């Protein structure tokens, strides 16, 4: 017998029974709930349901609680939009493969350290994000393949820098049953603007995480509940002529610093 599955199933039905008692759930309501779950299954929206019920982020929390020693960078959910084998980019790293004029330019830089402060050279940084309109390349036919996705290594001092665009917030899929649920309970589908990362170095625990743009209007009400205080990215506006010339940019741009910390495997 699968003891763990037995214990979880028993506990889950106890919790469901207490909800049924508390809300005096009727047979008609049960029928609607079962029809809803059938539709969720048929439309392949179980991962999305898990996200909006904040189940995915709760599982991320318990999965990584043991390895999060208070020093290493906190993890976050991978989400459904990760693509393996993103292009390997050389320095200086440009994540955006198209004309950036419709969006605001952003430089993200920092260092990767071990929990005891050792800079980690040759750490693999795998990044993916939406453009300023909140669109990911694989859901937007106007963007080229692998736009705003890429992998690159830190230098000999564990440093990294990449040029990209400020991502926009976006709504998670709301055209199916999960969207109907959100509408019925008056919840929005917005995710605050963010950049996803996978950071890995041999001998260290890899971290999958995302950094949120501080000040985003949805940062306190993420539809999937994934915002963590330690993962906020502060953007500084730069309008300095010398800096603009040095970087070959003719308009204001943004910079942001974030150091990643990995714990030993
Ligand atoms: C994302 O961050 O890419 C994402 C997460 C959950 C649902 C949809 C998208
Ligand atoms: Fe995302």
Which has more pLDDT, 139 or 67? 139
- Is 158 touching ligand 1 by the criterion CB < 6 Å? no
194 has catalytic annotation: yes
Q: How far is the CA of 28 from the centre of ligand 1 (A)?
A: 33
170 has catalytic annotation: yes
Residue 208, both tokens: 């999958």
How confident is residue 115, by pLDDT bands cut at 50, 70 and 90?
Answer: very high
Rounded distance between C-alpha atoms, residue 123 and residue 167, angstroms: 24
- Is 103 touching ligand 1 by the criterion CB < 6 Å? no
- Is 148 touching ligand 1 by the criterion CB < 6 Å? no
How confident is residue 62, by pLDDT bands cut at 50, 70 and 90?
Answer: very high
Q: How far is the CA of 257 from the centre of ligand 2 (A)?
A: 20
Q: Among residues 151, 163, 191, 201, which one is catalytic?
A: 191
Q: What's the per-residue H, E or C state across 80-132?
A: CCCCCCCCECCCCEECCCCCCCCCCEEEEEEEEEECCCCECCCCEEEEEECCC
Residue 210 CA: nearest ligand 1 atom is 2
Q: How far is the CA of 172 from the centre of ligand 1 (A)?
A: 7
Backbone angles phi, psi at 262, to 5 degrees: -110, 145
Contacts for 112 with CB less than 8 Å, ≥ 6 apart? 119, 120, 123, 125, 154, 158, 160, 199, 201, 259, 260, 261, 262
Average pLDDT, integer, range 111-122 = 97
94 has catalytic annotation: no
CA-proximal residue: ligand 1, atom 8 (nearest): 172
Q: Contact at 8 Å (CB) between 162 and 107?
A: yes
Q: Among residues 149, 196, 201, 254, which one is catalytic?
A: 196
Strands (E), the chain: 93-94, 105-114, 124-129, 149-153, 159-165, 170-171, 190-191, 194-200, 207-213, 232-233, 236-238, 253-257, 260-262
- Rounded to two decimals, what is the model's pTM? 0.95
How confident is residue 100, by pLDDT bands cut at 50, 70 and 90?
Answer: confident
CA-proximal residue: ligand 1, atom 4 (nearest): 79
Nearest ligand, measured from the Cα of 60 = 1
Q: How far is the CA of 209 from the centre of ligand 1 (A)?
A: 12
Q: What is the pLDDT of residues 21-44, one digit of tens each?
A: 999 999 999 999 999 999 999 999
Nearest to 207 by CA among 12, 63, 9: 63
Residue 101: other Cβ atoms inside 10 A: 10
Residue 235, both tokens: 């953007």
Rounded distance between C-alpha atoms, residue 163 and residue 95, angstroms: 6
Q: What is the pLDDT of residues 223-254, one digit of tens each?
A: 999 999 999 999 999 999 999 999 999 999 99
């Amino acid at each position: 017998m699968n003891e763990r599955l037995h214990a979880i199933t028993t506990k889950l039905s106890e919790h469901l029974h207490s909800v049924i008692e508390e809300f005096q759930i009727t047979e008609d309501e049960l029928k609607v709930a079962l029809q809803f779950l059938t539709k969720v299954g048929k439309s392949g929206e179980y991962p999305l349901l898990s996200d909006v019920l904040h189940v995915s982020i709760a599982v991320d929390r318990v999965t990584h609680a043991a390895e999060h020693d208070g020093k290493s960078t906190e993890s976050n959910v991978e989400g459904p939009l990760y693509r393996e084998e993103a292009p390997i980019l050389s320095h200086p790293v440009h994540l955006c493969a198209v004309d950036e004029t419709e969006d605001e330019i952003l430089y993200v830089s920092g260092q990767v350290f071990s929990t005891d402060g050792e800079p980690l050279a040759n750490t693999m940084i795998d990044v993916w994000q939406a453009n300023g309109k909140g669109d990911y390349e694989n859901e937007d036919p106007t963007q080229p393949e692998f736009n705003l996705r890429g992998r690159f290594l830190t230098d000999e001092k564990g440093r990294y820098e990449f040029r990209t665009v400020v991502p926009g917030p976006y709504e998670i899929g709301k055209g199916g049953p999960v969207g109907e649920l959100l509408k019925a309970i008056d919840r929005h589908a917005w995710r605050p603007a963010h950049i996803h990362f996978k950071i890995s170095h041999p001998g260290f625990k890899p971290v999958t995480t995302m950094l949120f743009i501080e000040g985003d209007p949805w940062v306190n009400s993420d539809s999937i509940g994934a915002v963590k205080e330690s993962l906020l990215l502060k953007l500084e506006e730069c309008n300095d002529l010398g800096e603009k010339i040095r970087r070959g940019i003719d308009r204001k741009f943004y910079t942001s610093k974030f150091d990643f910390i990995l714990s030993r495997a």
